[in-house]
């Protein structure tokens, strides 16, 4: 399936129906008066975040979306029918941007979140509404209002906790397929991964986090080299980046520290915020002899910058524990504490708010108890809600 993560869509809500100009004409009813009904409301366009969807592919070939117009008002006091609303589904993590201004209109980051993109136009009033004592035959009615029209850009940003970054062939897909059930293609040529993949990692104590494997970056990605920066938006929301450095590349004359710097420069060019995200540096492929030899040197050069590199072999699983622990430490430290949930309404102790008059009487020492059932009701409510 094609991965579509950005699409421009023209949206038009339904226009409101026009109000009608009509007069009652009946046998024996002379000058029956105005009877033009109102126009119906135009349909609105809603976007719903759906956890079942993973891409914006549906919109690639449906770039014009229209909701139904409202029906026009009719004679005999008949109102026009409201236009049907249009409900569109988008994947969770979709940003809704105004195409012209680039302004963010909505961020649908939670399942079932809803956003009204375009409101339907109001229906016009029929002439029946304009009859007064001095104007008994209004020969005019109101036109319906046009529905909102917008061109928007839908942009998908995957919701992953951890983003895997590094050069092509660094072993990102190998790592995600080892720690999760994601099975992206693994091969020894660059740009094997062309679209981001997500995997859920089951960590200890039933804790889990989502990892995104994104296509490799190369020097000049900001100028469109390789696949460019286009997929970096998918790690913008991550809590932590795992930066894989391929130590075996020393056999090709590459220097691990230089590789590390190139990727960081590309991150910086894309977004300084992304570059300042917590990073766990992983020295990968240590199962290979050349890589193992290069490890100490790489770690030393990072230590000079007060950074550490965790050795790993995505292929054999060596060093996986400490890497996952380091990731989990950042992910779960940052994950906000679970929102306090009310187990039952009983926990909320309602306070009896006395009406000002009652409060004043009480203050004056009035001993008369409220006798009416109305006055007793709040107290009864409070009792009912007690645990
Ligand atoms: N020896 C060894 N080989 C590895 C290790 N990890 C990955 N490889 C090999 O390195 C090559 C590239 O691995 P991938 O996982 O496809 O690399 P990637 O970072 O996803 O590459 P792109 O998708 O092209 O960006 C494959 O031939 C893997 O078998 C490792 O830990 N040790
Ligand atoms: Mg890959």
Q: Are residues 232 and 356 in the same domain?
A: no
Domain boundary among 156, 186, 213: 156
| Host domain of residue 360 | 346-385
Helices (H), 14-77: 57-60
Judgement on whether residues 112 and 180 belong to the same structural domain of the protein: no
Same-domain pairing of 169 and 272: yes
If asked whether residues 86 and 120 sit together in one domain, one would say: yes
Same domain, 178 and 259: yes
Q: Kindly give the distance from the C-alpha atom of residue 306 to the centroid of ligand 2, in angstroms, as a whole number.
A: 29
Q: Is residue 42 part of a domain?
A: yes
Atom of ligand 1 nearest to the CA of 244: 19
Separation of 276 CA from ligand 2 center, angstroms?
Answer: 24
Q: Report residues whose beta carbon is within 6 angstroms of any ligand 1 atom.
A: 166, 168-174, 186-188, 190-193, 215-216, 284-285, 287-288, 313-315
Query: Of 156, 172, 190, which residue is a domain's last?
Result: 156
Please report which residue ranges of 50-127 form alpha helices under DSSP H. 57-60
Residues 264 and 325 both lie in one domain: yes
- Picking from 308, 334, 360, the residue at the C-terminal end of a domain is 334
Q: Measured in angstroms, how far is the CA atom of residue 290 from the centroid of ligand 1? A: 15
Query: Is 351 in the same domain as 260?
Result: no
Of 281, 327, 338, the residue nearest 160 (C-alpha): 327
Assess whether 126 and 171 both reside in one domain: no
Strand order in the sheet with 208-213: 197-202, 208-213, 162-166, 240-246, 279-284, 309-311
Q: How far apart are CA 239 and CA 257, in angstroms?
A: 24
CATH number of the domain that 311 lies in? 3.40.50.300
Q: Which residues pair with 95 in a beta bridge?
A: 107, 155
Give this prediction's pTM: 0.68
Q: Which residues pair with 282 in a beta bridge?
A: 244, 310
Q: Could you tell me if residue 341 is inside a domain?
A: no
Same domain, 32 and 79: yes
Q: How many CA atoms lie within 13 A of 369 on its CB side?
A: 4
Residue 309 in domain: yes
Q: Is residue 1 part of a domain?
A: no
Angstrom distances, CA of residue 102 to CA of 96, 105, 150: 9, 9, 12
For the CA of 314, the nearest ligand: 1
Question: Which protein residue's CA is at the shortest distance from atom 7 of ligand 1?
Answer: 171
Q: Which tens digits make up the pLDDT trace of 81-112?
A: 999 999 999 988 888 998 888 888 988 888 88
Ligand nearest to the CA of 178: 1
Shortest-distance atom of ligand 1 to CA 174: 15
Pocket test of ligand 1: the residue of 164, 169, 227 to mutate, having most ligand atoms within 8 Å of its CB, is 169
* 340 within domain boundaries: no
Q: Where are the alpha helices (DSSP H) in the chain?
A: 57-60, 172-179, 256-270, 272-275, 289-303, 320-334, 356-363, 373-385
Please indicate, yes or no, whether residues 231 and 378 belong to a single structural domain of this protein. Answer: no
What is the reported pLDDT for 363?
A: 46
205 and 240 assigned to the same domain:
yes
Burial label, 70 (beta-carbon count in 10 A; 0-12, 13-18, 19+): buried
**Nearby residues for ligand 2 (ion, Cβ within 5 Å):** 173, 192-193
Nearest ligand 1 atom to the CA of 185 is: 16
Q: Would you say residue 250 lies in a domain?
A: yes
**Residue 91 confidence (pLDDT):** 87
pLDDT at position 334: 67
Element (H, E) at 105: strand 104-108
Q: Give the pLDDT confidence of 138-197 residue by residue, as tens digits.
A: 888 889 999 999 999 998 887 788 999 999 999 999 999 999 888 888 888 888 888 888
Residue stretches of the chain with pLDDT short of 50: 1, 337-387
* pLDDT computed for residue 116 by the predictor: 94
Q: Are residues 34 and 98 in the same domain?
A: yes
Number of domains in the chain: 3
CATH number reported for the structural domain that contains residue 147 in this entry: 2.70.210.12
Which ligand has the minimum distance to the alpha carbon of residue 166? 1
Distance CA 291, CA 206 (A): 34
- What is the CA(92)–ligand 1 centre distance, in A? 30
Ligand 1 atom 21: residue of nearest CA? 169
Closest CA relative to residue 95, chosen from 19, 34, 153, 54: 153
- In angstroms, the CA 179 to CA 138 distance is 75
Q: Which ligand is nearest to the CA of 221?
A: 1
Q: Is 229 among the domain residues? A: yes
Question: Is 237 within the bounds of a domain?
Answer: yes
Q: How many CB atoms lie within 10 A of CB 261?
A: 12
Residue 324's contacts (CB-CB under 8 Å, 6 or more residues apart) are 179, 201, 203
């Amino acid at each position: 399936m094609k991965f579509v993560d950005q699409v421009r869509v023209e949206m038009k809500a339904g226009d409101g129906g026009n109000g009608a100009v009509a007069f009652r004409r009946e046998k024996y009813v002379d000058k029956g008066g105005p009877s033009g009904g109102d126009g119906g409301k135009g349909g609105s366009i809603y976007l719903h975040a759906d956890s079942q969807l993973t891409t914006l592919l549906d919109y690639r070939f449906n770039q014009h979306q229209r909701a139904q117009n409202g029906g026009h008002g009719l004679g005999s006091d008949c109102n026009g029918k409201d236009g049907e609303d249009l409900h569109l589904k988008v994947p969770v993590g979709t940003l809704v941007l105004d195409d012209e201004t680039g302004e963010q209109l909505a961020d649908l980051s939670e399942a079932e979140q809803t956003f009204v993109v375009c409101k339907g136009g109001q229906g016009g009033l029929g002439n029946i509404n304009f009859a007064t004592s001095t104007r008994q035959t209004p020969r005019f009615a109101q036109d319906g209002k046009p529905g909102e029209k917008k061109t928007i850009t839908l942009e998908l940003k995957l919701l992953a906790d951890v983003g895997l970054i590094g050069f092509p062939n660094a072993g990102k897909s190998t790592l995600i397929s080892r720690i999760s059930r994601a099975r992206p293609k693994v091969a020894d040529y660059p740009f094997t991964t062309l679209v981001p993949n997500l995997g859920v990692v089951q960590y200890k104590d039933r804790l889990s986090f989502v990892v995104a494997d994104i296509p490799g970056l190369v020097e000049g990605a900001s100028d469109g080299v390789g696949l460019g920066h286009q997929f970096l938006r998918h790690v913008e929301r991550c809590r932590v980046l795992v930066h894989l450095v391929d130590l075996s590349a020393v056999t090709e004359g590459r220097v691990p520290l230089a590789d590390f710097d190139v990727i960081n420069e590309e991150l910086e060019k894309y977004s300084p915020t992304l570059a300042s995200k917590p990073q766990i540096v992983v020295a990968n492929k240590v199962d290979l002899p050349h890589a193992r030899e290069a490890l100490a040197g790489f770690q030393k050069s990072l230590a000079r910058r007060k950074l550490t590199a965790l050795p790993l072999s995505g292929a054999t699983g060596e060093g996986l524990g400490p890497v996952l622990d380091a990731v989990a430490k950042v992910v779960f430290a940052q994950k906000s504490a679970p929102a306090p949930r009310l187990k039952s309404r009983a926990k909320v102790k309602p306070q009896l708010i006395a009406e000002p008059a009652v409060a004043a009487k009480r203050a004056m020492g009035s001993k008369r108890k409220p006798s009416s059932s109305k006055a007793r009701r709040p107290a009864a409510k409070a009792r009912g809600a007690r645990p």
